[in-house]
Chains A and B, each alone.
Chain A
Amino acid sequence: MPTRAPDRPLLLATLVLVAAGLATLYSSGQTDVPTVAARLWERQLIFLGLGTVAAIVMYRFSPRLLEWATPLIYVTGIALLVITLLTGTGAGTAAGVKSWITLGGLRLGQPTELAKLATILMLARHLGAKRDPPNTLLGLMPACGIVGVPFVLVGLQPDLGSAIVFLGILFLMLFWVGVSGWLLLLLASPLISLLLAFSTVSWGIWIVMITAVLIWLRPYALEGIGTWLANVGTGVMALSLWNRLAPYQQHRLLSFLNPEIDPRATGWHIIQSKVAIGSGGLFGKGFTEGTQKRLAFIPEQATDFIYSVVGEEFGFVGVLATLVLFGWFITTLVSIARRANDPYACMVVFGIASLFFVHVLENIGMTIGLMPITGIPLPFFSYGGSFLLTCFLALGIAFRVATDSRSAGYDAV
């Protein structure tokens, strides 16, 4: 009987991150003005308890059982997203977004977070079953379909941030399964075209480049023409797509490009977040002492912008420590994925690593102004039951895979 002890590095990284996250959440409630964040850390403690139970349950599940149940989980996740879209309600700052599933007025949770895990599982099952990675765009279509359904449903809520997370997971998992970089570039090209379409010059250069790449790569004629048309098409449609975005989404994207456009309104979040982080200096203002937070200058200090509190109160030293910790945590997950016994487990754990990676990058990047403002929580730090639960479910799976691979003697590889 192999040892059942969980993977030590992952456990350690997780515990430290959970502790740091809880402390930061506690601090974010310590303000001079009344705030809803005051006692959130206590509720987060309850979620942590629930999460731990969920992780242990998942740890008990064999990856085989999980693989078997994956289609069911995926369909359930999609169904929940559909229900959310039909009956969902908003909450807090995202009141206009239908992201909550409610029952009798009681908000149960945000299915989007669970759908992320379900999609990872489904994608892992689909890709893991392949002997060789898809080498044509057409071959990538089923995977795109698996991610595309929740992507569209989440995008309709509309939740731009989570939609980006789905895309990130798709590309990272395709990379993990060994899809060539050029193929990924072609897959991503319509999106890049869409972004570049806001400047005619850069878009022109892009179209020339993608044409050259297509000629050089010589994919199937149909794929090549399809890709090229998709690039041109998205570029042309960009403006009408932009107009269909909700005004707050437009503002967020605009103020990401230049926060000073409207410092009192849309730029406020990012400016105040940067002021908080910058004023933290090298060693920070001290635990619970951040003035930007205490006087409510940091928006959403318990959820989206909790990392600004870290930056303000612990300074660059605290940022360095947490970022290294996150890096260590994610690379540990990558190692577990590498050592996994079977393709499915390997894909699942890498998908989980991708999920954490995209969240960390998007959330922390947002607080410093490198990423557009989206409502993406920071794992273990941001207050929120659904995401915390999702994280712990994912961690349960990862711990199980790690344990399994060790007992199989794969460690040496």
Chain B
Amino acid sequence: MWHHPHAVRRRALTARVLVWSVVGILLVSFFRTQVLSSTRYSLRSELNRLRALPVPAPRGLVLDRNGAVLAENVPGYSVGLLAASPESLVAVLDRIGPLVNVDDEARESILRRYRRDPYDPVTVRRDVPFETVSALEERRVTIPGLVIQTEPKRRYPQGERVAHALGYVSEITEEELQSGTFAGARLGTLVGRDGLERQYDDRLRGKDGVRFIEVDALGRTVRDRGVAPTLEPEQGETIRTTLDLDLQRFVVESFPEGRRGAVVVLDPRNGEILALHSAPTYDPNLFIGGVDPEVWETLRTAPDHPLINRVIQAAYPPASPWKLLMASIAMQRGIVTMDSKMTIPCRGGLQYYSRFFRCWRVAGHGDLTLAEAITHSCDVYFYQLGLKLGLTTILQDAGALGMHERLGIDLPNERSSFFPTSTEYFNRRYGPRGWTNAVTLNLAIGQGENTQTPLNVAHFYAMLANPDGRAPVPHLVGESQASQRSLRLTPEQLHDLREALVSVVEEGTATASRIAALRIAGKTGTAQNAQGLDHGWFVAFAPAEQPRVVVAAIVEFSEHGSRVAPMVTRIIARHLLGQGGLPEGRIRLLVPEDSAPEPVPILPGDTTRQTRGAPAPAPAADADARTR
């Protein structure tokens, strides 16, 4: 009988045990989930509902030496989207496409970035005008997942006037992100592309903040603000440069309109760069908010290469300014003094074996001392000086002065100047018997296998300008740093060289550019250019007794250095005397002109000016032997 009370009571007990065991089992598993794994699930539930939006940190300011702003930030807006699936992203893009101008290519990139990180908002467009933002805000209901961020936007108030020193910023590329070029950068970070922006990117960039928005299960934004504590962004470091904005502007204005070239102004005592201009220039503001591909293409392929910083990324034959280097090497070696004369006086050229090496002045300079040769830039004198020094010595000493190296300025992509390090170079290039000692003559007057960046030339003149024959590494930011290079001349020798340079301006090739109130030392030069008109150099420092400023300038296709000289002396006057110290009116160039001597073919195989197979003027094999 199943219904006997005892039997029922026994089963009721079993049933109770069953019920409470099930309750127990459930409690144990709830305990495990809610108490033991609570942290894990809490985190997951927060991750569910919160989306972290990076708050971009404003980049640090860039100031000139007096505190004038060179690069700053203005408020901008960026439009982003949160989407649950690629399909819904496309649908929303279709809806907002006409408002924010998303073309097919941009759409591809948006989808690609979305797939990389589907849980965070994907940036649709940066630097959106305020009208667009308000238009989007009005339609917010129909645009689920719309995220509008205020975002500091870079602005360069000086525009193209300080472009090359500053560089510009743009969004990090996916390749850079993968290769880790910029430590700490994330998708969408603006990174420095050139100039100081690139060089000091890690200091300027600052620390991005984080803010949270709350989303529902479908990824729609539910609450925009105040859902979780915000991590404020930290602005990047403010960087004070050595640039003098006033001088920089003056340099840009003084530079001949429509010409290409470069000007660098530095303080020889500490290496501080006061102005740096490369022409043609560009407006770095064009790159803000994503450069228009057409503009970019134009800038990149323009024949005059506006993106190149000619001060450090272009090298020119140093021409006559190089003669000072030859003089200082010879003086250091004790081969000449300022009063030394060469065996052959200048009669408009020098016969070296079968070739005639011309002086720029066809009439000739006559018998000159070294000081006079510098003043009049006599080529014949320096041909002989070069031969006296010998090729090996020239290569060795110029190399010791760093004429084949980068200087190490704090700007990215400085190219190294070119100068052969040993005769091995000629062997490699022309073959062991393919060249003659005639290369020495060309090297002696700053032509031939020798190209120097304007910065390197300026630095050499800074060494000349300083009493100890050394000069700190040119820089735009921070402390000056001693350079390894030294002329190793006595102060008297340096003084004499400076005096010779003064007389260049006072009575020599640059007389037209003298300014009464200042004693300016300088050297003109004309760099041969096989492609067209010659490039004009002028390198100067002042005041001659205690130089406080060095200016190196090159103007491409200007035929002659003395055309450049007035601009440089004006820059020096402006810097040392201020606005009122400038002479009235345009400075007109008079005579004489230190034009480049006709390039002398030095190579037996050179068929451009010589018939093939003509006898070599000097036996190539003993070129080396003779210099020894």
Q: A: which residues have CB within 8 A of B?
A: 32-33, 128, 130-133, 172, 175-178, 272, 274-282, 291-292, 295-297, 311, 315-316, 319-320, 323-324, 326-327, 330-331, 334-335, 337-338, 343, 346, 350, 353, 357, 361, 364-365, 368-370, 413
Contacts and interface: CB of A to CB of B under 8 A. Distances in A.
B30 A311 contact: yes
Q: Which residue, of B9, B26, B38, B48, has the highest number of chain A Cβ atoms within 10 A?
A: B26
B35 A281 contact: yes
B430 interface: no
B27 A320 contact: yes
Interface string B496-528: 000000000000000000000000000000000
Contact of A278 (B7, B9, B34): B34
A331 B37 CA distance: 31
B52 to A, nearest CB: 16
B222 A319 contact: no
B422 to A, nearest CB: 68
Interface string B90-134: 000000000000000000000000000000000000000000000
A364 B26 contact: yes
B433 interface: no
A278 B12 contact: no
B23 A295 contact: no
A319 B34 contact: yes
B356 interface: no
Q: Which residue, of B3, B15, B34, has the highest number of chain A Cβ atoms within 10 A?
A: B34
Given A278-B45, A281-B34, 4 more contacts: A277-B33, A278-B41, A316-B35, A343-B3
Given A281-B35, A364-B26, A338 B8 contact: yes
Contacts of A177: 2
B127 to A, nearest CB: 32
B216 A274 contact: no
Given A279-B44, A323-B26, A357-B22, A316 B31 contact: yes
Top-5 shortest CB links A-B: A278-B41, A279-B45, A178-B2, A327-B23, A338-B12
A131 B1 contact: yes
Interface string B36-58: 01101110111011000000000
A278 B40 contact: yes
B40 A295 contact: no
A contacts with B: majority SS: helix
Nearest to A296: B217
Contacts of A361: 22, 26
B20 interface: yes
A38 to B, nearest CB: 15
Contacts of A274: 33, 41
B38 A278 contact: yes
A133 B3 CA distance: 9
A93 to B, nearest CB: 14
B293 interface: no
17 contacts: A33-B216, A131-B1, A131-B2, A176-B11, A277-B41, A278-B41, A279-B41, A292-B48, A295-B217, A297-B217, A319-B34, A323-B23, A323-B27, A323-B30, A353-B15, A368-B29, A413-B9
Given A295-B222, A316-B30, A365-B26, A275 B3 contact: no
B215 interface: yes
A120 B170 CA distance: 75
B80 to A, nearest CB: 20
A192 B14 CA distance: 23
Contact of B33 (A278, A295, A337): A278
A172 B22 CA distance: 14
Q: Which residue, of A276, A334, A369, has the highest number of chain B Cβ atoms within 10 A?
A: A334
Nearest to A329: B19
Nearest to A128: B3
B49 A291 contact: yes
A275 B7 contact: no
Contacts of B37: 278
Contacts of A346: 3, 8
Nearest to A337: B12
B16 interface: yes
Contacts of B3: 128, 343, 346
B530 to A, nearest CB: 67
B34 A311 contact: yes
B431 interface: no
A260 B26 CA distance: 21
A368 B25 CA distance: 11
A275 B44 contact: yes
A361 B7 CA distance: 26
Contacts of A319: 27, 30, 34
Nearest to B22: A361
Contacts of B27: 319-320, 323
A334 B45 contact: no
B305 interface: no
Contact of B1 (A132, A280, A296, A327): A132
Contact of A338 (B1, B9, B31): B9
Contact of B12 (A131, A133, A334): A334
Contact of A368 (B5, B16, B33, B217): B33
B41 A33 contact: no
Contacts of A272: 48, 217
Given A337-B12, A413-B5, A282 B34 contact: yes
Given A178-B7, A368-B26, A331 B41 contact: no
B220 interface: yes
B214 A316 contact: no
Contacts of A280: 34, 38
A337 B44 CA distance: 45
Contacts of A413: 5, 9
Contact of B216 (A32, A128, A323, A343): A32
Contact of B222 (A32, A278, A338): A32
A156 B411 CA distance: 78
B451 to A, nearest CB: 62
A315 B34 contact: yes
Contact of A282 (B14, B35, B45, B215): B35
Contacts of B217: 33, 272, 295-297
B243 to A, nearest CB: 53
Contacts of B335: none
B8 to A, nearest CB: 5
A346 B5 CA distance: 11
Interface in B39-87: 40-42, 44-46, 48-49
